[in-house]
Chain A
Amino acid sequence: MSTVAQWQDASKRYRGVTAVEQVTLGLEAGQATALVGHNGAGKTTLIKLLLGLIRPDAGRVRIGDADPAGRGGAQARRAIGFLPESVAFHGAMTGAELMDFYARLKGASLRDNAALLERVGIADAARRRVGTYSKGMRQRLGIAQALIGAPRLLLFDEPTSGLDPASRHDVYEMIDALRGSGATVLISTHALAEVEERVDRAAIMHRGRLLAAGTLAELRHGVAAEARMRLKLRPCTTGRLLAALPAGARCVERSDAALTLQVAPAAKMATLRAVAQAGDIVEDVELAAPGLQELYAHLVGAAEQA
């Protein structure tokens, strides 16, 4: 597998404040990576480094073999499509005019622009001023301009922030389609649950540091996060079951007829056996593998304590 872009020990400080510290991360060709973290975790700084908008204070950043902030930077950016966080356009221009302008800057054919606007669903508004667009339409125009020239690497900075659920869904559909077409995609987000099903890998940032990176399975394995088990019981039998559970299972929620357990990976099978032996007092079992949200909370919690 080839690496399309990478940060190597990259650090960036702004007037004494560390925005990114010694981050080493690569984007693999054809994969979708989620860049996860709170506001101010360093996600946008990483993207700016990759675009060559800022230079790292230490370490290096590469797109292919080129330094994006160096002489070949402009050429390297030709292969990138970028959707900035809360994208803005010149309100007096129409969507079609802006697409033409951006296509010229990228040296791409103007002929494909109509199809791109069609693809993101704002072909009807192409001749209207962008000032009259809704937030969702501006975001769609933002995605359309990122797709000009069929870039191999797409960077989406918070692509769904401030959008209604229907628009969010559409945005993710478009990203899914891109992934299917073989492009490398980076999505920065704090909406973990939304991207979980849509990415191959995740990189978790916290206060400028990369806490973990890898496929979701690797991340789960690496941090040994607890699985969540929901049990539906006959009324007033929860105490009996709790007494039978092994040490690795913790009760986090308890009511008359239901239990929610956090189960350490090592105790998972033992817990399931205990539940099976409890016989017909257990009416239903639901087992959820730790999601990105739980992984993130776990990693950030561990980092805070350290």
Chain B
Amino acid sequence: MKALSIAAHEIRVGLRNRWVLATTLLMAALALSLSLLGSAPTGVVKADPLAVVVVSLASLTIFLVPLIALLLSFDAIVGEQERGTLMLLLAYPVARWQVVVGKCLGQVAILGVATVLGYGAAALALWLQGEIGVPAWQAFGAMLLTSVMLGASFVAMGCLASTLVRERATAAGLAVGVWLFFVLLYDTALLGVLVADQGRTVGKRGLDALLLLNPADVYRLFNMTASHSVSVYSGMAGPGDPAALPAPLFLAVLAAWIAAPLGLAVAAFQRRSL
């Protein structure tokens, strides 16, 4: 209940300082341009336009959503402390876990609103243009859900960074580092390892495991391969064989990527002295 009050406060602050508006407009603008320009390749071919857009939106999400999530969350604890509002908040009858969970919840809600409204606008534009099949809608819904989950995972990591350090600038640096590592460097490094290894030690199972160690890759695998109507267009015969890893596993791993950093953030905040 207290956590919900803190989440509601976080959302109100987000509305007031235009974070909600800015992220929604950004997501909508990018999604609309992708869906309108991106429908060119489908041309007169009888491909479901929404299924194509799911592929391009998922690729966009992998870069954008973690960045927005980290920008929202790196300030959560250390910013309050630097502004001098944290001590007063903790003098109230709230437990520390409620502060961390409430703040993360509020930020995920902000991100969720921006994602659903922004990407929803793109889907709406396509729907107004023509018929869209049920499988494509399902893939789109799954993409929305996992996009919010991916965002939640990075919000939790940003909160963790925010509870671990003493200064805002350090938290910001950590957040940028997290983004670079998971979104840009991890896949490149993995590719390098695979090339150097030539399949001697890292087998197919090893590769699957390595991909699950990065929430961005989990998201990519889920959205590019889980739905047949999409995997046709994604050109992903899959780094791993899509049939080998069932869709619920991806969701479970993404959920773990939310719970683990959040749990660590709570534990770190419990121990933090003021």
Which of these binds chain B: A88-96, A178-186, A229-237?
A88-96
**In this assembly, does B83 line the interface, its C-beta being within 8 Å of a C-beta of chain A?**
yes
**In this assembly, does A86 line the interface, its C-beta being within 8 Å of a C-beta of chain B?**
yes
Q: How far is the CA of A87 from the CA of B94 in the complex (A)?
A: 19
**B5 partner, pick from A75, A77, A80, A105, beta carbons under 8 A:** A105
Q: How far is the CA of A104 from the CA of B1 in the complex (A)?
A: 9
Does B91 lie within 8 Å of A53, measured CB to CB? Answer: yes
Which residues of the other chain, B, contact A88 by a CB distance below 8 angstroms? 83-85, 88
Min Cβ gap A153→B in Å is: 12
Which residues of the other chain, B, contact A89 by a CB distance below 8 angstroms? 85
Min Cβ gap B249→A in Å is: 38
Min Cβ gap A120→B in Å is: 16
Min Cβ gap B255→A in Å is: 28
**In this assembly, does B248 line the interface, its C-beta being within 8 Å of a C-beta of chain A?**
no
Q: How far is the CA of A76 from the CA of B9 in the complex (A)?
A: 23
**In this assembly, does A78 line the interface, its C-beta being within 8 Å of a C-beta of chain B?**
yes
**In this assembly, does B87 line the interface, its C-beta being within 8 Å of a C-beta of chain A?**
yes
CB closest chain-B residue, reference A14:
B273
Q: Given A88-B83, A92-B17 in contact, is the A102-B92 Cβ separation under 8 Å? A: yes
**A74 partner, pick from B5, B12, B85, B93, beta carbons under 8 A:** B93
Does B274 lie within 8 Å of A48, measured CB to CB? Answer: yes
CB closest chain-A residue, reference B95:
A74
Q: How far is the CA of A77 from the CA of B12 in the complex (A)?
A: 25
Which residues of the other chain, B, contact A90 by a CB distance below 8 angstroms? 13, 83, 85
Which residues of the other chain, A, contact B85 by a CB distance below 8 angstroms? 88-90
Does B17 lie within 8 Å of A107, measured CB to CB? Answer: no
Does B16 lie within 8 Å of A92, measured CB to CB? Answer: yes
Interface size on B, residues (CB 8 A): 22
CB closest chain-A residue, reference B82:
A88
**In this assembly, does B204 line the interface, its C-beta being within 8 Å of a C-beta of chain A?**
no
Q: Mark B87-115, 1 if CB is under 8 A from A, else 0.
A: 11111111100000000000000000000
**B92 partner, pick from A48, A93, A105, beta carbons under 8 A:** A105
Min Cβ gap B99→A in Å is: 10
Q: Given A89-B85, A90-B85 in contact, is the A101-B274 Cβ separation under 8 Å? A: no
Does B12 lie within 8 Å of A84, measured CB to CB? Answer: no
CB closest chain-B residue, reference A142:
B88
Q: Given A54-B273, A90-B85, A105-B5 in contact, is the A80-B91 Cβ separation under 8 Å? A: yes
Which residues of the other chain, A, contact B16 by a CB distance below 8 angstroms? 92-93
**A107 partner, pick from B9, B13, B93, beta carbons under 8 A:** B93
Q: How far is the CA of A43 from the CA of B209 in the complex (A)?
A: 54
Which residues from 74 to 124 on chain A have a C-beta closer than 8 Å to any C-beta of chain B? 74-78, 80, 82, 84, 86-90, 92-93, 97, 101-102, 104-107
Residues of B within 8 A of A (CB): 2, 5-6, 9, 12-13, 16-17, 83-85, 87-95, 273-274
6 contacts between A and B (CB under 8 A): A48-B87, A54-B273, A84-B91, A86-B84, A88-B88, A102-B92
Residues of A within 8 A of B (CB): 14, 48, 51, 53-54, 74-78, 80, 82, 84, 86-90, 92-93, 97, 101-102, 104-107, 145
Shortest beta-carbon contacts, A-B, top 4 = A88-B84, A82-B91, A105-B92, A104-B5
Beyond known contacts A53-B87, A86-B84, A97-B12: 10 more, CB 8 A cutoff: A53-B90, A54-B274, A77-B93, A87-B84, A88-B83, A90-B83, A92-B13, A93-B12, A105-B93, A106-B92
